[in-house]
Structure 1
Amino acid sequence: MIKKNVLISGGSGFIGKHLTDLLIQKGYSVSILSRSEKQNTEEISYYKWDVANQFIEEDAVLKADYIVHLAGENIAEKRWTKKRKSEIIDSREQSTQLIYSVLKKNNKVLEAFVSASAIGIYGAINGKEICTEETPHANDFLGFTCYKWEESIDFIEYLRIRTVKIRTGLVLGKEDGFLKKLLPVFKCRLGAALGSGQQYMPWIHVDDLCNMYYHAIVTPTMVGPYNAAINDNTNNLIFSKTLAKVLGYSIWLPNVPAFLLRLAMGEMAKIVLTGKRVSSDKIENTGFHFKFKNLEEALKDCLAK
């Protein structure tokens, strides 16, 4: 039997590596778009692409039955200068346009195109509102970035390809992601809440996120955006106290003042100082089940790996 092939952009990253392992376990062959030359393995084929120069090895797309699109500059890696903001938006739009051009030129029909997006589409705003997939996008930088990201994905849908957008929350995993940045401080027993501590932190375990991508691949009724985060009312103070508890102590330091975070991070501090709740009803109504819905259990699992 010929295995179905899944092409992953951004497959060398944190989420991509976990997803690759899962798809191989599920019996798929995996191809990965990479900016550098890599040696193929028995299970993974690598293809080169260069988004800035709009180059891609077209065989990667032509061979694919499904594409999972994870590529994009890390939004929390550098300060948000004007240049950096353009890089963040361009990396998402241009990478999608490159794949679209190959699909259109070759009249290639995929079984599904599943793309990353983010709950940042609802904005860097504090509030108790529970955002659903029908909530309008915000007009700040995060909201606009995610809106343009999803708008670029709509062009794939115009090719009559089933298109799914996974609006991701804060991803928990030991190797990388949000938790990795916190662990050095918290392991030294210097953990503290940030700003008011009341900002919501919709989170998701990396295993659940990868299972959601797989669920999107195998569920032909899934179309459009889906929130990928637990709605358990976790705010920054609760998160900080829970992480400290899992590491064996109680938080004793006062909250880190918001103005210090703004001095250190500039406008990017909004990522850690703001947050809204999101609903997971839509994805769960498709039959998807979260393995980790309890924050303490999720953190224990991440730290045990």
Structure 2
Amino acid sequence: MEPIQIENLDAVTKRVFNAGFNTSVVGAISEGLAAGQTEIRPFVSEVIENRRMDFEPEIIIKENKGYYNGFKATFYNEDGSTVNQWFKAADRITINEAFILMMDQQHPRAVHKTYYNDTGEKYGQWIQLDFSQKTESGNYLLKRHGDFDQVAKLGDYDFLELDNEKQKITAATYMAEGREIELTPANQETYPKVYVRANPERNTFTFMDGNGTLLYHDQFRTPAARERIQQEKNNRQSNVSFVRKSKEGPSSEKTDDVKKKSEPEREQLKSSKKPRQVLEAEAKKGKTL
């Protein structure tokens, strides 16, 4: 086959580098072009945090231009089973982020990404895989969660490593990478260390002990945060009580028909509460601040 020269080789190799691939992939692209290949898929095997992952980036050649479409990732579980996922180039997922997204299939982690809309305006978004659902192409569903202010939320909690704004920003940065952080609760003897990760689906965090057991948030909050949250709960309960009384009318006595109508309403209020996220028994330890 005739060798191929493309106009945008530098742009293609830059996108490949930005995805986390090394010079061996760039060399494979050059070799593919020299061999006249219009579809180039180099095979790369990496060890990330002592776990094996295989990658196959895809470069397609059309009309003397190259297009980096993304990569297929294969994650090797400890039991030898594998999980595959295609990450398209438009999402700008790196191979290290792919590792984070795929490492826990029972309770997937999320990574924070920054994107730009059509008008060039920057916005934040959390990316998370849903291993319970697949698309028509056989890919696992990629869920997207809106941004939330991690630093402000961390201000509600009393940990020794979150004593100032700079420490909170550092903690938020680690969790935005999908990592767990290790924190020391202030005035807390029961749990000398707590492991925390971002939970953007609930706009909050997940707290665990050393065994990966889920912990209640309130025991780690500051007194001011507990008082504020309790006041918010009281206000919500007062509003719900006022709405119910308004629907009931002036009479305090209810007929059987009214009682039956009120039951579904109460069930609906109960089911609208957000469930806590249950995590795996053996959690990976994260970075210590």
- TM-score bucket (shorter structure): under 0.3
Which has a greater percent of strand?
A: 2
Instruction: Compute the TM-score of the two structures, normalised by the length of structure 2.
Output: 0.23
The TM-score with structure 1 as length reference comes to: 0.23
* Higher relative contact order structure (alpha carbons within 8 Å, sequence separation ≥ 6): 1
Structure number, greater radius of gyration: 2
| Higher helix proportion (structure 1 or 2) | 1
